[in-house]
Amino acid sequence: MAYDDQNIFAKILRGEIPCDKVYEDDHALAFNDINPQRPVHVLVIPKGHYVDVDDFTANASDAEIAGLFRAVGQVAKQTGVTDDGYRILSNIGVNGHQEVPHLHIHVFGGADTGPMIKRQD
């Protein structure tokens, strides 16, 4: 899928739409989800234009990939979820129920995050 630079996270990156920033460095921006599903629910996004994990792992530089995951670790530390545990998740495409077509890693914590995935039986 081609990157749509009108997606909501692209607008946040350009400063056209505000966000509640948690962390920022050269490679990544992290901000609170607008509809939090747990007491801690942060979205960590690369600054580069990547649709999803497929696009990112195929096309991003090693520095961008390392930078995104270091930012996830930094956000976990900064939000205080490391002691009790937390979950990271990235939705991809239709089966993954991805809503925003700019790669994002959800960081959920501050409460039990429930089963890994909805059971089918």
Q: Are 111 and 38 in contact (CB under 8 A)?
A: yes
Which lies closer to ligand 5GP via its Cβ, residue 33 or residue 64?
Answer: 33
Neighbours of 60 (CB within 10 A): 19
DSSP annotation of 86:
E
DSSP annotation of 26:
S
User: Using CA atoms, how far apart are residues 95 and 72, in angstroms rounded to an integer?
Assistant: 24
> How far apart are CB 33 and ligand 5GP at their closest, in Å?
5
Which lies closer to ligand 5GP via its Cβ, residue 31 or residue 50?
Answer: 31
Is 27 annotated in the active site?
A: no
The one catalytic residue in 27, 49, 104, 106 is: 104
Q: Contact residues for ligand 5GP (CB under 6 A)? A: 8, 19, 31, 33-35, 43, 91, 97-100
Which lies closer to ligand 5GP via its Cβ, residue 27 or residue 106?
Answer: 106
